[in-house]
Structure 1
Amino acid sequence: MLKAVIFDMDGVIIDSEPMHARAAVLAAKQYNIDITIEYCYKFIGSTTYYMCQIMVDDFKLKVTPEELLKANEDMKQYLLKTEGYKVVPYIINLIQDLYENGMRLIIASSSPAKAIEEVMVSLNIKQYFEGYVSGMMVKNPKPAPDIFMEALRRLGLGPKECIVIEDSANGVNAAAAADIACIGFMNPNSGKQNLSKSSYLIEGFEEINYAYIMNIYGMVINEPKTIMTTERLVIRELTAEDIKVLYELSKDPDIEIFLDDFKDSPEIEIAKHKAYIKNVYQYYGYGLWGIFLKDTGQLIGRCGIEYKNIGDIGEYELGYMIGKQYQRCGYATECAREILSYFFIKYKVPYIVAVIDRENVPSNRLASRIGMTKENELKRHNRNCYRYIIKNHS
């Protein structure tokens, strides 16, 4: 279970990487050294002291890393006084939302402790965090895992209970070395960063909130995403284990006759669903979901939306199946209505259809009950079917 989010600071909370690079360029000029912004960007995610050590070696400077660090810090303070902190858009909203939903938060930044404190106070976010770990507090900087291992120690949590948000290759690699899932933020101001070891990539924080983070975490650890709850039901993604139960429900003669799937062995159906999780749930975000009783957790059927070719055009199609012993309880109606409403609002499609065998009397009645209108007849898999439609009025 996700219990904490570990934030990098520079490039994630404040858009400071360009300023840091300019400070380094100005500091180097004091020693008659011309370096480029690109040169500085390769140190993103590591400590400034480490950068100064490398610069002294690369350019055979007759100064100590400490002296160069002091010049760099002086330039940084000058730029801060004249320009101030530039906050990454919408990141404060995310921090507040995570905190309000009970998520534990900590900063793990390569910046000095003083700089982290100044940012937290300046942005008025200190109250949301349990603390911070500076790269100066550990033996080895990012990409070594030390800083994240220390964050785990302070939180008293394991790597599977946390997720990191990083913008640099060094940070992403450090999270991977610590075996912590990592969201890679593709910050255009952080230079060309190789974030390939991220568990998930984002381009910004405008649509990122607590629920989104939980969904990312669920995907990373293969935890099924809960889509919604109704008065009596929980609608969530189906796992490979769930297919065993669904397979048994599908074998009732009155159900099996109208199904197009579950024709293979349980082992093959499970293998097919594992591919479905990756290629449908994770790629599209929707599909056929499991219907579970809220009070017992019992799987009683499935319902959802799939994009299918119907005739010569592609359409969003509602599908549903309820186990025989759970029929005539209103579960299908309760579930289908909520899914239609959810899909219309979230995906803003103009209409949704249902294609139902003419002989499947209960399903035809349900389509009418939830507000669908019989539009036409068609053939599907050599069956005579009705095509129902419901338009988006949300």
Structure 2
Amino acid sequence: MENQLRCVMFNREEFLIEHQLDADVLFLLEGLYQYGVRVLNLDGKTTKEDMEEKLLQAGYRTEETLLIAAEDATLQNGREIGLATIAFVNQKKNGQTYSAADIVVEGFEEVDFYFLERIYQRKHGIPWRVIETERTYLREMTVEDVEALYEIYAQEGMTDFIEPLCEKREDEIAYTKAYIENMYVYYGYGMWLVCDRENGEIIGRAGLNTQEIEDEIVLEMGYLIRQEYQRQGYAYEVCTAIMDYAKEASGFSELSCLVEEENHPSLGLLQKLGFSFRKEVDILGKRMKRYVYAL
């Protein structure tokens, strides 16, 4: 059975503020039913055995459950049975470290179902679906996607202006694992896969990376669309959505693109997207044109 968030557990006693359940927590939990998520109150019984028994009685698995807690003991017990865990900083609970939590939140004003779902997905290695456009969606890649990338990169002209994949597949798989753990988890963005919304087929790769240019860390956008989908406006559609995402979520004030002078299609796309030429720079032994867009 495919993993999906179906249940949220909490211990009401850990969320009391002046003898009342925290209002934002209450609003969040009461709204989860509309997404098909059941909320289970542990009623003060927070041992591993209690949690497993509660889930068994309700008909849920640990693999489809997320725990919200404010005490280390509860978080640790949840973690040991495989639950995704979110720690709530309750000022009435002193001396907590939250070391067993997947993430720590100080309040629930901006926490909704989609926030919980993403923490759950990260716990279980489920790729995030980050951006949607009219014809595509962009999601994080997985190790299982490596073979499809080799197929795309093998098409004529694909690596004329980008670095090829590793010659050995085992090296590319190792790189992909490290990229997922370090880039996606810590930065919240990276190079994503571009998928056809109708059939889920991987049609390219696009996204954001950080790049050091002349002692400055800049945000860079890149893209690659497989041959069958080129010259149909997909690159413009995807890059426009990425630019909007960068404006809202990256924290950078401008976006850069680095293009070789001979890459005429990309130069034309950048002009259409509203990028402006700034200067030529040397990157890894290549002379590149740097274009920028104010976010």
Distance 1:89 1:261, change over 3 A: farther
SS at 2:293 equivalent:
strand
For the 8 Å contact 1:351–1:390, the answer to whether it is kept is yes
SS at 1:98 equivalent:
helix
Distance 1:341 1:177, change over 3 A: closer
Question: 1:39-54 to 2 correspondence within 5 Å?
Answer: none
Higher percent of residues as strand: 2
Residue 14 (structure 2) pairs with residue 11 (structure 1)? yes
For the 8 Å contact 2:86–2:102, the answer to whether it is kept is yes
User: After the TM superposition, which of the residue ranges 161-170 and 277-286 deviates more from structure 2?
Assistant: 161-170
Residue 156 (structure 2) pairs with residue 222 (structure 1)? no
Q: CA RMSD in A?
A: 1.9
SS at 1:388 equivalent:
strand
Residue 40 (structure 2) pairs with residue 106 (structure 1)? yes
Q: Which residue of 2 aligns with 1:23?
A: none
For the 8 Å contact 1:356–1:364, the answer to whether it is kept is yes
Shift of 1:253: 4.0
Question: 1:272-291 to 2 correspondence within 5 Å?
Answer: 272-291=175-194
Alpha-carbon separation, structure 1, partners of 2:272 and 2:35 = 37
Q: Which residue of 2 aligns with 1:361?
A: 264
Alpha-carbon separation, structure 1, partners of 2:133 and 2:177 = 27
For the 8 Å contact 1:11–1:88, the answer to whether it is kept is no
Shift of 1:376: 2.0
Pick one of 161, 178, 200 that aligns with 1:258. 161
Percent sequence identity over matched residues?
Answer: 29
Q: Which residue of 2 aligns with 1:66?
A: none
For the 8 Å contact 1:374–1:388, the answer to whether it is kept is yes
- Deviation readout 1:43-76 (Å, 9 max, x if unpaired): xxxxxxxxxxxxxxxxxxxxxxxxxxxxxxxxxx
Shift of 1:164: 0.9
Alpha-carbon separation, structure 2, partners of 1:264 and 1:224 = 25
Residue 261 (structure 2) pairs with residue 327 (structure 1)? no
Q: Which residue of 2 aligns with 1:90?
A: 24
User: Gapped runs of 5+ residues in structure 1?
Assistant: 16-83, 111-134, 136-141
User: RCO greater where, 1 or 2, for CA within 8 Å and sep 6 or more?
Assistant: 1
For the 8 Å contact 1:293–1:299, the answer to whether it is kept is yes
Shift of 1:105: 1.3
Alpha-carbon separation, structure 1, partners of 2:251 and 2:62 = 38
Q: Which residue of 2 aligns with 1:346?
A: 249
Shift of 1:269: 1.1
- Deviation readout 1:307-363 (Å, 9 max, x if unpaired): 111223111111111112221121111111011011102234221010011111111
Higher percent of residues as helix: 1
Shift of 1:199: 3.3
Task: Calculate the TM-score normalised by the size of structure 1.
Answer: 0.70
Shift of 1:191: 1.8
Task: Calculate the TM-score normalised by the size of structure 2.
Answer: 0.91
Alpha-carbon separation, structure 2, partners of 1:89 and 1:204 = 10
Distance 1:372 1:174, change over 3 A: same
Pick one of 181, 189, 202 that aligns with 1:299. 202
Shift of 1:210: 1.0
Q: Which residue of 1 aligns with 2:108?
A: 205
Moved beyond 6 Å, runs of 4+: none
User: Gapped runs of 5+ residues in structure 2?
Assistant: none
Shift of 1:301: 1.0
